[in-house]
Amino acid sequence: MGGSTRNPGALQGDNASGQSPYQRLSRRMRDISGDRGVLKDVIREGAGELVTPDASVLVKYSGYLEHMDKPFDSNCFRKTPRLMKLGEDITLWGMELGLLSMRRGELARFLFKPAYAYGTLGCPPLIPPNTTVLFEIELLDFLDSAESDKFCALSAEQQDQFPLQKVLKVAATEREFGNYLFRQSRFYDAKVRYKRALLLLHRRSAPPEEQHLVEAAKLLVLLNLSFTYLKLERPATALRYGEQALIIDRKNAKALFRCGQACLIMTEYQKARDFLVRAQKEQPFNHDINNELKKLASYYRDYTDKEKEMCHRMFAAYDNGSTVGEN
C-alpha cells in the first residue's frame, strides 16, 4: 500500500523507555473512540466527505501483530478488492470506527485494543488472547446505499414528493453500484442496479428547464445497460437500449458503437455497418470503432464466401440432377 512503512508490525525505535513498539507508536496517534481503544495516524490525507454509517466501502487493508513483519490478514493481493458493507461484512468494531473517520483516497494506520479487535479470547491460532493489533487501511472509495435503498422502497407517489436533485442523486448511486459490479464481472447484478436507476428516472417528470438533467442521467444508464447486455450475450436487448440512448442523443458515438456491436453479433451486417460508420464519423480516430469495422469487413467476407459456396453447390446439384433425368 502506497505511503506505508516497510514493516508496520515490527516498528523500530529506542527501547530505553521499556515500552513496546505499539505503546511508543500510540503516543503520537489520535484517539477516535474516546477511550483510546482505537487510535489513528494519518499517512496520506483523503478528500471529500467522511464515510457514512451504512456505506459500502472499497478498501485495501493489512493487519499486523506486534513484532511481526508479515501481515496476518490482508486483501492487498487481490486485483480488485471486494465491496464490503459496514455492519455486515466488516466484523471488527475498531475497523468500522476507523473507516467512519476516513475520506476517499486516505491512507491511515490504526491501533485496535482487544475490545475493538479480537477480544479476550483472540482468534486462535493466529491471534493470541488480549492482543492489540495494527491495521493499515487505504480507503479507495465508498458508496452509501442506505439512502438509495430507503428511497427505492417508497411508492412512486411518495418519491414524487422529493425534489428532482434527490432522485438524480439516488439514480447516480444505483449506477455507481452497477459500475462497481460490472468491474467485478457480475453482469447480472450490475444490470439489476442499472434498471433500478432507469426506473427512477422514467418515473420522474421534470419541468422543461430541468428535463435535460433527467435525459443526461438516462443516457448514462442506457449506455451502461447496452454494454452489460452485450456481456450477458443478449445482443437484441443491447441493441434496444442502445437505440433508446440514440433517441436522447442521435450522434452519441458510444451508443452507435454498442448498436453496431449488437448487430454484428446478430449477423445483421448492413445495420452493423450503418451504425459503425456513423460512430466513426463522430470519432474518426477511435481505435475500438475502427477495429470493429475491420472485424465487420472480415466477417462479411467470410459470410459472402460461404453464400457463394452454398449457391455453387446448389446449382451443381441441380445440374447433376437434370443430367440424370435426361438420361
Residue 306: which pLDDT band, with cuts at 50, 70 and 90?
A: low
* Angstrom distances, CA of residue 142 to CA of 86, 194, 200: 10, 18, 22
**What are the beta bridge partners of residue 59?**
139
248: Cβ contacts below 8 Å, ≥ 6 apart: 215, 218, 219, 222
Residue 28 has pLDDT above 70, yes or no: yes
Residue 319: which pLDDT band, with cuts at 50, 70 and 90?
A: low
DSSP state, 307?
H
**What is the C-alpha separation between 213 and 174, in angstroms, rounded?**
16
Half-sphere exposure of 24 (CA within 13 A, CB side): 15
Q: What's the mean pLDDT when you consider all of the chain?
A: 87
What local confidence, expressed as pLDDT, does residue 324 receive?
39
Residue 234: which pLDDT band, with cuts at 50, 70 and 90?
A: very high
Least reliable range by pLDDT among 121-135, 217-231, 304-318: 304-318
151: Cβ contacts below 8 Å, ≥ 6 apart: 159, 162, 166, 167, 170, 200
173: Cβ contacts below 8 Å, ≥ 6 apart: 143, 144, 145, 147, 148
What local confidence, expressed as pLDDT, does residue 12 receive?
56
Half-sphere exposure of 321 (CA within 13 A, CB side): 6
Most confident of 80-84, 108-112, 322-326: 108-112
What local confidence, expressed as pLDDT, does residue 9 receive?
58
**What is the C-alpha separation between 61 and 105, in angstroms, rounded?**
13
106: Cβ contacts below 8 Å, ≥ 6 apart: 42, 44, 45, 46, 138, 139
271: Cβ contacts below 8 Å, ≥ 6 apart: 259, 263
219-226 average pLDDT score: 98
Query: Which is more confident, 302 or 126?
Result: 126
At 245-265, the pLDDT tens digits run 999 999 999 999 999 999 999
188-201 average pLDDT score: 93
* Cα dihedral 125, 33, 149, 241 sign: negative
Query: Which is more confident, 10 or 121?
Result: 121
Query: What domains appear along the chain, each with residue ranges and CATH number?
Result: 21-144 (3.10.50.40), 147-313 (1.25.40.10)
Cell reading at 19: 515500552
Query: Which is more confident, 11 or 300?
Result: 300
Query: Which is more confident, 6 or 41?
Result: 41
